[in-house]
Chains A and B, each alone.
Chain A
Amino acid sequence: MLTDREPHLPEIIEEVLGLPVYELLQADKSAYLLPVFNQLHVHHTQQCASYFNAFSSHGSQFKTISELPFVAVRLFKLLNLKSVSEDKVTKCLLSSGTTGSTPSKVYLDAVTSRWQSKALVKIMQQFLGKQRLPMLIIDSPPQTSDGSLNARAAGIQGLGLFGRHHTYALNSDMSINWKAIEQFSAKFANVPTLIFGFTFMVWQHFILELQRTGKQVNLPQGHLFHSGGWKKLAAQEVDNTTFKQVVKRTVGISQVTNFYGMAEQVGSVFMECERGFLHAPVTADIIIRNPYNFKVCARGERGLVQVLSVLPYSYPGFSILTEDLGTLRGTDDCQCGRKGNYFTLHGRLPKVEIRGCSDTSQSPLS
């Protein structure tokens, strides 16, 4: 019976990809997504032994999305989780996450990669239209690697689909490639452009560098998309509002869109709207859970962010409990007009403090 159902899963994922990105009311969207998630759960219990061992006891055919099991995001660092055979894996995304720690490993096959691109395209088109735009990438050109792809490069590659005339703004030592930027801005000063970078890179190696050198870059029609942690910026007391103000002042860009995404769920990103809220696209959903007991939080209550996406087929990452804290701000009623759940983030769950009589980090001599 189950093997009967299996071939349908890719088809129904494709169907979800065909739905309008932000138009479904949450109730309709949930009704649509629940059977997909149920099938994904069955698929991964059948194809991934680790997932089976940890989650088959939860049952199957859940009645609501919130009943689905969720994988602690750190498991992608600790285990090699995949639901396709080795020969189907086309690439492995490596995300270092917290600096210096073991990277997450996300195994992708051709179909999952394709869906990821497709989902991202549909989301981006909501903001940029269908035209490919000249693209300035606030990063260094990718280094040739061994088939595994770091998440930064993967993100650039994903967004790169919307661009043409891709220009890297930084050299490999993270210094600004002035010549490339000058050429880019001379050529595209008066047309819409796409600018993309990771939040910290944009701030540290682009904005601050422009301020320091006093040089001008003029891209008034540019639309900056950025994503990534705020931890290092918070240390410099830079929040989203400050970031936007300084970007406008420094490079004349007034369209700045932050988005929330992660290597473990590439494609179904959560875009920030004009009102400053993050929105779940049709391919994804969000649940906020009480960090003390994992119960679902009410609107307005701060908790751990669980992200769900219909895309993860080659690895069991369709329902992940992140270590990010967020708050559900509402459903279907954002003033921006987008339907479904919308939320805000408050950063990472604070790090664990090591205590105990075996605390070697505090060695009197080391």
Chain B
Amino acid sequence: METTNNIDYLVSGAPTIESLVAHAPLQAVAPETLNFITQLSSRLLRSSYARKYPEIVALGFWLREKHIVQLVSRFTNTNNEGWHKPLGCVVHYTPNNVDTMFVYSWICSLIMGNVNIVRLGSTASEVRDVILHELDELFSLPAHEQIAIRNMFLQFDKSSDLNFRLSELADARVIWGGDESILAIKKLPAKPRCRDISFADRYSVALINGDAIESENDINQLAELLWQDTKPFLQHACSSPKVVLWMGSTSEQSALANRINELATSTREGNAEGYAEHRANEHLVTCQLLQSQQLATPPLCNESICMLPVSEVNEKMLAEHPGEGMFFLLSVSSIEDITELLADRLQTLTYWGVEKPALLKLLASPSIIGVDRCVPVGQALSFSPDWDGYRLFSTLSRYVYLG
């Protein structure tokens, strides 16, 4: 029976899902896989769209040979205790607007040798189209045939029973999305040993030590790094900081806010895209709403970005956080004070001016149930195969123990 009838969009070297899953997986960290990734990297970096979309550059850079080789080194150094093998078929459910994130998790699965079916969300975007176009081109080259016939990107109607079929085929499901979408997908029948990797709704914070700011240069650098973490995906990526926790001297808070604002303003003036006219008004509404409830004091800045000093951070405030360059600024007297703020939904803690031993001590505290990543400010969005508490290379492979 023809199953591609209700598929709206398809990039694959396999004509049907049946033919795709009929192929045995490749071995983990296969040379042809690494070669394919290198080719994809150089295509993305050469793309004429790279200049327009920093996320394409970031992805292309992440995929470059040197970096991938470094990431997989622990799998290539064989020992006698065992080895990693692919799981089989991994089905990916992509998020809709954080256009490039799903590529990272797909690449991790690809590296481990799996056959992949990537179910794309219904919202098209130029970034996604650019990536899919490059994949389509690569898939058509004989050199990449073995990759092409084992990977499929498709889009189909939400109501289609393909959702059930894909789920039944999966040895692992990688699910990006809001809590509701994830729960809906997890309800679909799957194999008993199917692994679910859920990238659910999370938020992130930056921890800044005001005492470590010693010069204007420090402010400029910190502003650049914070803005780098915030600008992509209009601050809606789970890893972008929505809250700035500030310890130490608060004297440079305004200077920092103004510097980020300058960066944001020049971004807006250089490229109006994404800088909708509603942005400052949304921030204004949030400021006034929180101020009227005594949860905030006047913003240090509300123009191209908004820095709003708040007296607490609660779930409701986070749920209503408008994104697009808004920071809830919470001053704390010491690093110990932030323990109770690191709730289970907290994904990434970025830090600046804080010593690692202090962080280690903080994160080791048993009362902290959140924080899956702790990286320097500026690296919030740098994808790592260790993401959201998962170690993707391990989770997307089977470890064969040799006794």
Point out residues on A near B: beta carbons under 8 Å: 50-51, 53-54, 57, 71-72, 74-75, 78-79, 291-294, 304, 321, 323, 325, 349-353, 355-360, 362-366
User: What's the nearest-Cβ distance from chain A to residue B292, in Å?
Assistant: 4
Interface residues of B in 264-317 (CB under 8 A from A): 268, 275-282, 284-285, 288-289, 291-294, 297-298, 302-304
**Is B179 among interface residues, defined by CB-CB distance under 8 A?**
yes
User: In chain A, what residue has the closest Cβ to B275?
Assistant: A292
Contact for B268 among A79, A292, A325, A350, CB less than 8 A: A292
Residues from chain A with a CB closer than 8 A to the CB of B184 are 363-366
Q: How far is the CB of B121 from chain A (nearest CB, A)?
A: 5
Given the complex, which residues of A lie within 8 Å of B75, measured CB to CB?
Answer: none
Q: Determine if B83 is an interface residue (Cβ-Cβ < 8 Å).
A: no
Contacting chain A: which of B19-27, B128-136, B233-241? Answer: B233-241
User: Which residues of A have CB within 8 Å of B199?
Assistant: 357
Inter-chain contacts of B4 with A (CB < 8 A): none
Q: How long is the Cα–Cα vector from A351 to B291 in the complex, in angstroms?
A: 23
Main secondary structure of the interface of A (DSSP, over half): loop
A359-B178, A365-B163 known; A53-B293 Cβ under 8 A: yes
Q: 8 Å CB contacts to A: which residues of B167-190?
A: 176-181, 184-185, 188
Binding site for A on B (CB under 8 A): 93, 95-98, 101, 119, 121-123, 158, 163, 176-181, 184-185, 188, 199-201, 233-234, 236-238, 268, 275-282, 284-285, 288-289, 291-294, 297-298, 302-304, 322-323
Contacts of A358 in B (CB 8 A): 177-179, 200-201, 236, 238
Residue among A71, A75, A358 with max Cβ neighbours from chain B (10 Å): A358
Q: Measured between alpha carbons, how far is A33 from B275 in the docked complex, in Å?
A: 35
Contact A53–B292 (Cβ < 8 Å): yes
Q: Which residues of B contact A53 (CB under 8 A)?
A: 291-294
Contact status A78-B276, CB under 8 Å: no
B97 closest partner in A (C-beta): A355
Nearest chain A CB to B279's CB is how many angstroms away?
8
Q: With both chains docked as a complex, state the minimum distance between the C-beta of A298 and any C-beta of chain B, in angstroms.
A: 17
Q: Of A304, A357, A364, A365, which one neighbours B238 at CB under 8 angstroms?
A: A357
**Interchain CB contact under 8 A, B123 and A362:** yes
Question: Which residues on B sit within 8 Å (CB–CB) of A360?
Answer: 177-181
Report whether B281 and A71 are in contact in the complex, using a CB–CB cutoff of 8 Å: no
Contacts of A359 in B (CB 8 A): 95-97, 177-178, 236
Residue B278 contacts which of A79, A349, A362, A366 (CB distance < 8 angstroms)? Answer: A349
- Measured CB to CB, the nearest residue on chain B to A360 is B178
Find out whether the CB atom of A351 lies under 8 angstroms from the CB atom of B185: no
Chain B nearest Cβ from A356, distance in angstroms: 3
When A and B form their complex, which 6 residue pairs have the shortest distance between CB atoms, in order from nearest? A356-B236, A360-B178, A363-B181, A358-B201, A50-B292, A362-B96
Smallest Cβ distance from B49 to chain A, in angstroms? 19
Q: Is the CB of B268 within 8 A of A364?
A: no
B294 with A350: CB separation less than 8 A:
no
